[in-house]
Amino acid sequence: MARRAMRAGADAINWRNHLPTGTPMLFNVAQLLRQEVGASRRYELEAEEPVHAGHVELIRMPDGVLVRCEADVLLEAQCSRCLAAFAYPAHISFEEVYVQQVDLVHGHRMPEPDDPESFRIGMDNTIDIREAVRQYSETVADMRPLCRPDCPGLCPTCGTDLSIAHCQCERGPIDPRWAALIGLKRMTNG
């Protein structure tokens, strides 16, 4: 599949190699947690997969920190017709309260949040937005991604990738369910 992947998503996949190391989606909020409700910080987001640009605003709340995030993301996908790997841009926007676990002013544990699923500020006073970014990226992901709008897909008879080559088979409209099965067979056979 690797060679096929390069065809459709070369630019997007190479982009990954230029990402800086480190964790640009991790924020230390120890100072913010010592400030009054309403205090805020704003940060530009550096590139870290899947984000390539964006910003966050962190706002002190009574029980934690409200994270407002706007980000341009690059989502990796597999074409639902030809099964090629590719990436496409999307935008995510969310507001989530990260619940405080430690009262920094008085030095004791905070009560457990009502919602066990809620995002939490780490015990080291950091907010890690990667999981939220992942979840919101999933919600904006295309259910039937196409590497390009007119992707001809695979021949349902012989499995030829019709955007690369022609085959001699007769065929009607391509049924994506067949395309998926043929793709599986190809991966198995090599």
Question: Rounded distance, CA 25 to CA 27, Å?
Answer: 7
Question: Rounded distance, CA 170 to CA 190, Å?
Answer: 25
Q: How far is the CB of 61 from Zn ion (least distance, A)?
A: 45
Question: Rounded distance, CA 46 to CA 31, Å?
Answer: 21
Contacts of 81 (CB under 8 A, 6+ apart): 146, 147, 151, 152, 153, 154, 174, 176, 179
By CB under 5 A, tell whether 182 contacts Zn ion.
no
Count of residues that interact with Zn ion, criterion CB under 5 A: 11
| Token reading at 82 | 């030809």
DSSP per residue, 69-121: EEEEEEEEEE-TTT--EEEEEEEEEEEEEEEPSEETTTTEEPPPPS-TTS-B-
By CB under 5 A, tell whether 77 contacts Zn ion.
no
Q: How does DSSP classify residue 132?
A: H
Q: Is 128 helix (H, G, I), strand (E, B) or coil?
A: strand
Q: How far is the CB of 82 from Zn ion (least distance, A)?
A: 3
Q: How far is the CB of 176 from Zn ion (least distance, A)?
A: 10
| Token reading at 158 | 């012989």
Q: How far is the CB of 113 from Zn ion (least distance, A)?
A: 43
Q: Binding Zn ion by CB under 5 A: which of 1, 169, 184, 187?
A: 169
Which CB atom, from 109 or from 148, has the smaller least distance to Zn ion?
Answer: 148
Give me the 134-163 binding string for Zn ion, x by CB under 5 A, dash otherwise.
Answer: -------------x---x---x-xx-x---
Q: How far is the CB of 52 from Zn ion (least distance, A)?
A: 23
Which CB atom, from 6 or from 169, has the smaller least distance to Zn ion?
Answer: 169
By CB under 5 A, tell whether 52 contacts Zn ion.
no
Q: Binding Zn ion by CB under 5 A: which of 81, 85, 87, 100?
A: 81
What residues line the site for Zn ion (CB under 5 A)? 79, 81-82, 147, 151, 155, 157-158, 160, 167, 169
